[in-house]
Structure 1
């Protein structure tokens, strides 16, 4: 039996971004834990890490890539207007 440990799939100093990633992953059925959330929210210096169970790492990274791609295309389209 494989043990399921926590792995970091994303890190940022932006507390709102970390919370958005967490909410999106949980909406897809992937439970998350934010590390250093309180310290980072106060200073913006510490990295907030988004952790998921190792069995969900690939799926979580795929979702995060989709989030980042869609936010980049949103920025591109707003610059053209």
Structure 2
């Protein structure tokens, strides 16, 4: 059975997509970016983070942890 790629995250911010990719790879999840070479058009084209179908659930869990961490960091900086 061959594995297929599935998009787990998309953004118009290339740096954000790169950060997600690096974090997922740090967790042992192989991934690739679609449209990353459109960096000159940041904010225009969507960059997609793709993982193998068997890694989708874990990748989404890691991405959710990133979001929660980011939100709590924003909340604490607003309180200062």
TM-score (norm 1): 0.95
Q: What is the deviation of 1:49?
A: 0.1
Counterpart residue number, 1:36:
35
Give distance in 2, aligned partners of 1:51 and 1:80. Answer: 36
Q: Is 1:22–2:49 an aligned residue pair? A: no
Two-structure CA RMSD over aligned residues (Å): 0.7
Matches within 5 A, 1:1-81: 2-39=1-38, 41-44=39-42, 45-81=44-80
Q: What is the deviation of 1:3?
A: 2.7
Structure 2: gaps (5+ residues): none
Deviation >6 Å, runs of 4+: none
Aligned positions, number:
79
